[in-house]
Structure 1
């Protein structure tokens, strides 16, 4: 039973470490895009997404992780960052010409 607890802790730690670059990528991508592309794609404004991804990255950095009392904030931050990556980013890239943009 102790082995499963340790394994669980390592998996959670790996998720937390993997979430930080994902949040950073989302914020950097939002910074690099044109402001008019967000509204043209039918999404929130660039400033709104900068705030969402910035706060998301901040929460991913400061919360201790999903198993240490910060689960609600960590999960909300991860969902916000992933929504940007899977929904907003492709729409903004398509509006700006559809080419690969990081």
Structure 2
């Protein structure tokens, strides 16, 4: 009973780390390369390597029956790479991302 609960908890944990890494990778790919040096951060290629490896490792750690996977402690290292990007780099790069103007209709809303 407890062993099966532990397996489920760890599986959810690994899926969450993979989702976090994938979110960081998608966000990184949407940012322009020029935004990283402007924000005083390392290059997009550097962060792409960190987050890309973190995403690949976090996917490889997910336990699938019958498929060999990497040691589970590597999931923590993958989470560190993704979290550092999301907490430190993403907020610094966002103002330099080139998204200008409102996304919706502008002007007064309402009727008269």
- The TM-score with structure 2 as length reference comes to 0.73
1:78-93 to 2 correspondence within 5 Å?
Answer: 78-93=79-94
Point out where structure 1 has 5 or more consecutive residues left out of the alignment. Answer: none
Question: After superposition, what is the alpha-carbon deviation per residue over 1:56-82, rounded to whole angstroms, capped at 9, x for unaligned?
Answer: 0000111246xx871331111111011
Give 2:66's aligned residue: none
Partner of 2:35: 37
* Structure 2 unaligned residues grouped into runs of 5+: 64-68, 101-112
Number of the residue aligned with 1:55: 53
Deviations 1:6-28 (A, max 9, x none): 32221111111122222111111
* Structure with higher helix content: 1
Say whether the 8 Å CA contact 1:64–1:70 is kept in structure 2.
no
